Chain A
Amino acid sequence: MTATSVARTAALALGDDALVLSHRLGEWAGHAPVLEEEVALANIALDLLGQARILLSLVGDEDELAYLREERAFRNLQLVEQPNGDFAHTIARQLFFSTYQHLLYGRLAAGDGEFAPLAAKAVKETEYHRDHAEQWTLRLGDGTEESHARMQRAVDTLWRFTGEPFQPVEGLAEAPLVEEEWLASVTTVLERATLTVPEGPRTGAWAAGAGRQGLHTEPFGRMIAEMQHLHRSHPGATW
């Protein structure tokens, strides 16, 4: 099944989000702070990769799309391409993204659009991801002095990327509709975690909708260079 042309833009945006964040989480393998997190982070990465494969397949060949597009053709949010940083940074990124994804998929699953069947499955996965990120936000925020400081720094650093998910995307009218719920939910979690909701803007002049238009941050090019190099070195090969 391929998507209608309107839904292709949306499928590419959502598929790239999942693909790129899955890749970032894959970088944690063998480096996590406890074994249980090796399992959890890989599990989330796998769920996201599964979503990416379904979404990209709606648009075309999943491997061609993942491995042969240039940086400027990727439509993922700038949020998900941000480097892992420390564990707090990874958790803040996950909290912001999973909350968005869970709310969005909840809405898509309830509707009768092209993504409803996919969203019905993915919403269960994203609920688990969201819970994992929330639990860790509480533990780090309300843990030790050091973990509190690190978690606050992570939230502050990534805050300026949190407006982009709610910019309009063709074929995805639902995205802007979940912004208020997102803000309310994230605010509650941050406050429970004894953290301060940042005062800075949620989109800079650059970040607003930029990733969705193929404008990315510098670390992203290096990430896809690593991701694509083997595939590109063997044109036409099957694996």
Chain B
Amino acid sequence: MSNKVIYAIYNDDDILMDAVKKTRAAHHHIEEVFSPFPVHGLDKAMGIPPTRLAICAFIYGLCGLSFGTWMMNYIMIQDWPQDIGGKPSFSYIENMPSFVPIMFEETVFFAAHLMVITFYMRSRLWPFKQAENPDVRTTDDHFLMEVAIHDNEEELVSFFQSTGAVEVKVIEKN
């Protein structure tokens, strides 16, 4: 069994959106769409579930808040409660206003950085990573939809030609 796929190439994002909707309506499974820029509404048209990155960021923020609170409490209150300029170091709450800037920044720092790292890991992005570009034009001005073939090569080719593709290629993938 060969792993053949179709590359349907478009040069307009509106035509691409229509093609995606038609492909979904015809129940062909879209493997991937490559685009030079974000096309508004493409994820909805493809039926991709919403991202959970924001939920991650919220949890990371809570971790940062906890870390900031724990750190300031340990250093300033538990470990060595000095009298520094008359600030009350008897309990955390009494000196809390002076820790708020740190707690805030820790929250933002954790939320932002861990979310970005999560994004890199989930989308498999790192330095020296091999680029997965099927056609060099898709980074400039062309859009490419990839659909797998299961013994229906002619039907698919004619289907994609009817959707306004400027080029329909059949590629053997390994």
A and B: real partners? no
Interface set of B (CB-CB < 8 Å, partner A) = none
A contact residues vs B (CB 8 Å cutoff) = none
